[in-house]
Amino acid sequence: MADYSANQPTIVVINDSPDLLELARLLFEDEGYDVKVAQVGNGAYDLIRLTMPDLVILDVRLPDISGWDILQALRLDQATSAIPVLMCSAAVGEMRQLESQLQVAGVDWLVKPFSIETLLDKVRILIGSQFTDGTGGG
C-alpha cells in the first residue's frame, strides 16, 4: 500500500483527555488527515516544530502548561507563526472575553462541549484555507 502521508494535511491535537485524543485521532484519520497527538503541553511545542502541521487543535487548560503559553510561543516563532490554531475550552466566559485578541492573532476557537460536525467544519475551513492557492491539498 502506498504511503500518502506526505500529501495529507497534518493536524496536531493537544489535549489532556486520552479519550478525546483517541476520538480525534480516529475521526481525523478517517477524514484523511495525518494526526499527531500530545496529552501534555510540555513537548507539544517541540512536536509542532518537528511536524510543522497544517493545523493545531489546542486545549486551553493542560495539566502542566497553559495552552495560551503554547499559543504565544507559536506566534513568536517565525517558523510557526502562520500555523492555524483552533483553541478549545470549556471556559465560555474566558473565550468570549478574549475573542477579539484571538481574532487578531488569527486563532479560531470552540467552546466545549462541541459537536463532531462543528469540529469538522472548523477543521475543514482552517485547513482548506491553506490549500486554496493552487498548491494542492483538499
Q: Determine the average pLDDT of the residues in 90-98.
A: 72
The reported pTM is: 0.84
pLDDT of the residue at 97: 72
Ordered DSSP codes for 91-138: -HHHHHHTHHHHHHTTEEEEESS--HHHHHHHHHHHHHTTS-SSS---
Burial annotation 29-60 (CB, 10 A radius, 16+ → b, else e): eebebbbbbbbebeebbeebeeeebbbbbbbb
Q: Would residue 134 count as lying in a domain?
A: no
On whether residue 3 sits in a domain, the answer given is no
| 1 within domain boundaries | no
Determine the pLDDT at residue 13.
Answer: 97
What range defines the domain where residue 63 resides? Answer: 10-128
Q: What is the mean pLDDT of the chain?
A: 85
Residue 77 lies in a domain: yes
Q: Is the pLDDT of residue 103 over 90?
A: no
Establish if 133 belongs to a structural domain: no
Asked if the structure places residue 67 within a domain, the reply is yes
pLDDT at 109 over 90: no
Flag whether 64 is in a domain: yes
In a domain, 84, yes or no: yes
SS3 107: strand
Cell numbers placing 80:
510557526
Q: What's the total number of domains in the chain?
A: 1
Task: Please name the residues in contact with 73: beta carbons below 8 A apart, sequence gap of 6 or more.
Answer: 45, 80
- CATH number for the domain that contains residue 34: 3.40.50.2300
- Residue 112 pLDDT exceeds 90: no
CA–CA distance, 95 with 107 (Å, rounded to integer): 11
